[in-house]
């Protein structure tokens, strides 16, 4: 959420930002509602002051006629005040709906564009494997090895359900252990296991509601299942005042992730590239209210995921997302995409974003700066590990006989095993 004062003072900039993101938003409509909100607040404050004044006069007088007159005045004031307060409730609702719909302004370095095909490649890493045989996809490889069951997954969990078994599960465990150790060696990040079943307010605070509500699972109690640990991590410090000396705060969250994939009907319906339930490590950083600091930590958390991808020996590239491919609150975003041989293309494995104070203003996370002023911290996040690198390892490390080599960095977590072969 942007500051209403900032919106008023930078109306054209906010409008241009929305246009660049290809998000329809009428800034004039918001300012009109805000004018009405301020007008009603002044009227209500004035009426309450009048009520207090009449109440004080009633205490000081002993003349019944005057008291009766004052009671009549109080009755009129009360009725008028109730009417204006009811009107303010409606105006505040409209104001709040519009305020949470204002898109953040993209950075000047963000390229123009409408969708993901307009994203710009900024870095390429690793070597794309050259097979002397026709490579299989992860579905055929894993099912032949007996480490993935889609049929039983569908039987138990429905569409997009799956089981990882045997060495498939061990390989996934190895990835989790590797990432945990990676951040322990790097230092600075607090590991956290966070809830996935979360109240509505944190989703509003992080910007997933209202824009992304259709992709969330909702319980009958009104709570939601989160698609990322970011929501819980960002809300950990909601309504708190942090110490500047403690910034930046770096968190590494691990959680289940749930996504309805509401806008993905017909996409990636086979295999486990796009599923409803998976596990995820997420980096979240809270830093000082400085664009320079935000940019610095944005590059840092993106680099962390690059280093993980490189250590796993996966070919990858990094793209900077075009404005039309940014979310409501994102100022800038990188996507890290690893090579998927069966599709002969790169597929996303993580996204690194920064928001300035868009999320923290909603969540009310502040700190006191050196000048004594209260400021909202800036927030950033990036995927450390999603469920997809498992698929990329299986396909990039496959052999002609259908066995799979295990990346060297993962072998210690699998008891020294270096290959996954079909069990006899």
Encode 341-395 in three state secondary structure. HHHCEEEEEEEEEEEECHHHHHHCCEEECCCCCEEECEEEEEEEECCHHHHHHHH
Q: Are strands 345-356 and 224-225 parallel, antiparallel or unpaired?
A: unpaired
Alpha-carbon torsion 196, 3, 100, 383, what sign?
negative
Instruction: Say whether 260 sits in a helix, a strand or coil.
Output: coil
Q: Tokens 């996303």: give the residue.
A: 348
d(CA 236, CA 239): 9
Decide the pairing of beta strands 197-198 and 189-193.
unpaired
Q: Which of 160, 259, 361, 366 is catalytic?
A: 259
Distance of CA 228 to the CA centre of its chain: 7
Cα 56 to the center of its chain, rounded Å: 52
- As a whole number of angstroms, the distance between CA 397 and CA 197 comes to 36
Q: Kindly give the interhelix angle for 27-60 and 11-20, rounded to the nearest 10 degrees.
A: 140
What SS3 state is found at 419? strand
What whole-number distance in Å separates Cα of residue 334 and Cα of residue 330? 11
Angle (CA) 113-117-118 rounded to 5° is 25
Q: Has 259 been annotated as catalytic?
A: yes
**366-368/189-193 β-pairing:** unpaired
Contact 222, 200 (CB under 8 A): yes
Is 351 noted as a catalytic residue in this protein? Answer: yes
| Cβ atoms of residues 267 and 343 within 8 Å | no
Among 260, 274, 347, 405, the active-site one is: 274
Task: Tell me how far CA of residue 346 lies from CA of 24, 261, 343, 350, in angstroms.
Answer: 31, 20, 8, 12
Residue 362 a catalytic site member: no
Task: Tell me which of 149, 235, 255, 351 is the catalytic residue.
Answer: 351
Task: Check if 348 is active-site.
Answer: yes
212/231 Cα distance (integer angstroms): 13
Q: Which of 213, 348, 403, 405 is catalytic?
A: 348
Active site residues: 259, 274, 348, 351, 388
């Amino acid at each position: 959420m942007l500051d209403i004062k900032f919106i008023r003072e930078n109306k054209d900039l906010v409008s241009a930002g929305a246009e660049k993101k290809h998000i329809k938003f009428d800034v004039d409509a918001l300012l009109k509602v805000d004018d009405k909100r301020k007008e009603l607040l002044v009227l209500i404050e004035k009426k309450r002051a009048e009520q207090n004044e009449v109440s004080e006069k009633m205490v000081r007088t002993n003349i019944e006629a005057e008291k009766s007159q004052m009671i009549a005045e109080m009755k009129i004031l009360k009725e008028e005040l109730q009417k204006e307060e009811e009107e303010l409730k409606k105006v505040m609702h409209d104001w709040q709906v519009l305020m949470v719909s204002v898109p953040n302004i993209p950075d000047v370095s963000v390229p123009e564009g409408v969708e993901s095909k307009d994203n710009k490649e900024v870095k390429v890493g690793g070597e794309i494997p050259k097979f002397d045989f026709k490579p299989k996809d992860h579905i055929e490889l894993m099912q032949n090895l007996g480490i993935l069951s889609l049929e039983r997954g569908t039987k138990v969990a429905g569409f997009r359900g799956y089981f990882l078994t045997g060495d498939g599960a061990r390989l996934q465990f190895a990835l989790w252990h590797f990432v945990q150790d990676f951040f322990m060696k790097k230092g600075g990040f607090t590991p956290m296991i966070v809830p996935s079943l979360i109240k509505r307010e944190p989703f509003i605070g992080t910007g997933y509601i209202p824009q992304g509500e259709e992709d969330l699972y909702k319980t009958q109690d009104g709570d939601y299942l989160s698609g990322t640990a970011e929501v819980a991590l960002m809300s950990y410090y909601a309504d708190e005042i942090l110490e500047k000396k403690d910034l930046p705060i770096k968190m590494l969250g691990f959680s289940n992730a749930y996504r309805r994939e509401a806008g993905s009907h017909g996409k990636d319906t086979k295999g486990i590239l796009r599923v409803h339930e998976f596990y995820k490590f997420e980096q979240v950083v809270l830093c000082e209210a400085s664009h320079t600091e935000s940019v610095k930590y944005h590059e840092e958390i993106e680099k962390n995921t690059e280093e993980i991808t490189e250590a796993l020996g996966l070919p990858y590239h990094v793209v900077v997302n075009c404005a039309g491919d940014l979310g409501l609150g994102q100022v800038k975003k990188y996507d890290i995409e690893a090579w998927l041989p069966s599709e002969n293309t790169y597929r996303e494995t993580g996204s690194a974003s920064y928001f300035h104070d868009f999320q923290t203003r909603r969540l009310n996370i502040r700190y006191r700066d050196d000048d004594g002023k209260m400021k909202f911290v800036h927030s950033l996040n990036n995927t450390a590990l999603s469920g997809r690198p498992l698929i990329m390892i299986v396909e990039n490390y496959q052999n002609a006989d259908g066995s799979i080599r295990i990346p060297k960095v993962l072998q210690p977590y699998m008891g020294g095993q270096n290959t996954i072969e079909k069990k006899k």
